[in-house]
């Protein structure tokens, strides 16, 4: 009788065990990650269109995968690594890894992305040394994430205020934008150095 009672228990344990292991991680397609963000009170356009896939475990750990590192533009240039990790909560991505933002010619890691008040229309980017408040509308539509060091005419022209034809070759556009950025950075450096000299004198 003891053997007959133990056997059903073993069968039940074998059935329960694989169910627990398969539900610890939810694997979804890239087309639904933007809906996932919206369901958590975040704008869907935080991550670009060309996400390869993502995983979300039961503890809220979100891992987003790309084919290669890429760059996109919100208010400033942002860079996504091949894998971006964060703890997903309602209204926030905390402990972000693999996402950086260009500020004052430096690449600074984004640590947290938080929507404190949905009615304010603002989203907070914590980059360690500062916290930036950006308009929610910048993240409504998922952007295109271009390969690392590639900057398209339409994207750069749109955010720099330059009127560049979308039919221009990428190489020409890249050269024009590099020249514009070089002149701008040179102007900032000269202005800053002149102010320092005045203060020293």
Q: What tens digit of pLDDT does each residue of 54-70 get?
A: 999 999 999 999 999 99
Q: Exposure of 111 by Cβ count < 10 A (0-12 exposed, 13-18 middle, 19+ buried)?
A: middle
Rounded alpha-carbon distances, angstroms, from residue 159 to 14, 144, 182, 201: 58, 14, 16, 38
Q: 182: which 2 tokens? A: 């070089």
Instruction: Please check the confidence at residue 100 and state whether its pLDDT lies above 60.
Output: yes
Q: What digits encode the pLDDT tens for the residues 113-166?
A: 999 888 888 999 999 888 889 999 899 899 999 987 655 444 444 333 333 333
What 8-state DSSP symbol labels residue 142? Answer: P
Are 47 and 142 contacting, i.e. CB atoms less than 8 angstroms apart?
yes
What is the rounded distance in angstroms from the CA atom of residue 110 to the CA atom of residue 117?
Answer: 20
Are 185 and 106 contacting, i.e. CB atoms less than 8 angstroms apart?
no
pTM of the prediction? 0.63
Residue 83 pLDDT class (50, 70, 90 cuts): very high
What number is the average pLDDT over the span 16-31? Answer: 48
The confidence score (pLDDT) of residue 161 equals 36
Query: Mean pLDDT, the chain, as a whole number?
Result: 74
Residue % of the chain over a pLDDT of 90:
44
Q: Return phi, psi of residue 102, to 5°.
A: -85, 125
The confidence score (pLDDT) of residue 128 equals 84
Residue 182 pLDDT class (50, 70, 90 cuts): low
Residue 24 pLDDT class (50, 70, 90 cuts): very low
The confidence score (pLDDT) of residue 40 equals 94
């Amino acid at each position: 009788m003891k053997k007959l009672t133990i056997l059903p228990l073993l069968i039940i344990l074998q059935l329960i065990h694989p169910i627990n292991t398969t539900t610890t991680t939810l694997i979804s397609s890239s087309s639904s990650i933007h809906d996932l963000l919206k369901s958590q009170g975040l704008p869907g356009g935080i991550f670009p269109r060309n996400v390869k896939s993502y995983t979300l475990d039961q503890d809220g750990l979100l891992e987003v995968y790309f084919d290669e590192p890429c760059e996109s533009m919100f208010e400033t240039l942002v860079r996504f690594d091949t894998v971006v990790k964060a703890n997903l909560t309602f209204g926030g991505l905390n402990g972000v890894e693999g996402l950086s933002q260009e500020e004052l010619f430096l690449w600074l890691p984004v640590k947290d992305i938080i929507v404190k008040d949905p009615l304010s229309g603002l989203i907070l980017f914590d980059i360690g040394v500062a916290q930036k408040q950006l308009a929610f509308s910048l993240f409504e539509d998922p952007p295109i994430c271009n390969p690392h060091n590639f900057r398209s005419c339409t994207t750069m022209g749109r955010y720099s205020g330059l009127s560049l034809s979308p039919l221009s070759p990428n190489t020409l556009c890249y050269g024009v934008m590099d020249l514009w950025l070089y002149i701008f950075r040179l102007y900032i450096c000269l202005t800053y150095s002149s102010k320092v000299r005045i203060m020293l004198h």
